[in-house]
């Protein structure tokens, strides 16, 4: 019985490998990896590495302690600005037992122009640098501390 399961698994892998081998650059619904089917091509716009394979992810981390209070993946390659409302909704639900809701959210420039979608949240970002207070400018420097957490998530989970 175990060999039948192993054979069916091997056949599935061979089908996926053949699909990857025969697909053309202009094909729709391309497969980018053997194992996770949700992986897609994400354009980064960087000269050294313009495209990456992966899934768009939003991570919510507390300012003071660096505690991760929400993480969510989004299939496909949606615009960053449209993800913030969904991530804030998840974070609010997860923090509901503690009666805490996010009041200020530090975001990168991909989230410009989404202030109207999130009226109860202050969104300081680098694009508003001249109008920010000294404290808010310090908060923006704190955003860099999230990058190691994301690296650990990628490697360990």
pLDDT in tens, 21-44: 888 888 877 777 777 777 777 777
Question: Which pLDDT does position 145 carry in this prediction?
Answer: 74
Question: Which pLDDT does position 128 carry in this prediction?
Answer: 66
Q: Which residue, among 53, 107, 61, has the nearest Cα to 80 in the 3D structure? A: 107
C-beta neighbour count of 46 within 10 angstroms: 9
Task: Please answer whether residues 81 and 114 qualify as being in contact, where contact means their C-beta atoms are separated by less than 8 angstroms.
Answer: yes
Task: Please answer whether residues 149 and 68 qualify as being in contact, where contact means their C-beta atoms are separated by less than 8 angstroms.
Answer: yes
Question: Which pLDDT does position 45 carry in this prediction?
Answer: 74
* Spatial distance between the Cα atoms of 30 and 47, rounded to a whole number of angstroms: 23
Question: Which pLDDT does position 116 carry in this prediction?
Answer: 64
Question: Which pLDDT does position 106 carry in this prediction?
Answer: 75
* Spatial distance between the Cα atoms of 44 and 77, rounded to a whole number of angstroms: 11
Residue with tokens 């530090």: 106
List the pLDDT tens digit at each of the 157 positions of the chain: 578 888 888 888 888 888 888 888 888 777 777 777 777 777 777 778 887 777 788 888 887 777 888 888 887 778 877 888 888 888 888 888 887 777 777 777 777 777 667 677 777 666 666 777 787 777 777 767 777 877 888 788 7
- The token pair that represents 15 in the structure block: 């089908």
Q: Who contacts 107 (Cβ-Cβ below 8 Å, separation ≥6)?
A: 84, 123, 125
- Using a cut of 0.85, tell me whether the model's pTM lies above it: no
DSSP state for residue 109 in the 8-state scheme: G
């Amino acid at each position: 019985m175990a060999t039948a399961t192993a054979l069916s698994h091997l056949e599935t892998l061979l089908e996926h490998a053949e699909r990857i081998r025969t697909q053309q650059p202009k094909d729709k619904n391309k497969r980018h990896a053997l194992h996770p089917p949700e992986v897609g091509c994400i354009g980064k716009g960087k000269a050294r590495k313009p495209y990456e394979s992966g899934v768009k992810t939003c991570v919510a981390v507390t300012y003071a302690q660096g505690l991760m209070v929400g993480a969510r993946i989004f299939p496909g390659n949606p615009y960053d600005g449209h993800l913030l409302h969904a991530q804030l909704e998840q974070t609010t639900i997860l923090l509901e037992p503690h009666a805490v809701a996010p009041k200020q959210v530090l975001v990168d420039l991909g989230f410009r122009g989404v202030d109207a979608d999130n009226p109860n949240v202050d969104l300081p970002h680098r694009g508003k640098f001249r109008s920010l207070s000294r404290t808010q400018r310090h908060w923006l420097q704190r955003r860099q501390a999230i990058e190691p957490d994301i690296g650990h998530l990628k490697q360990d989970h």
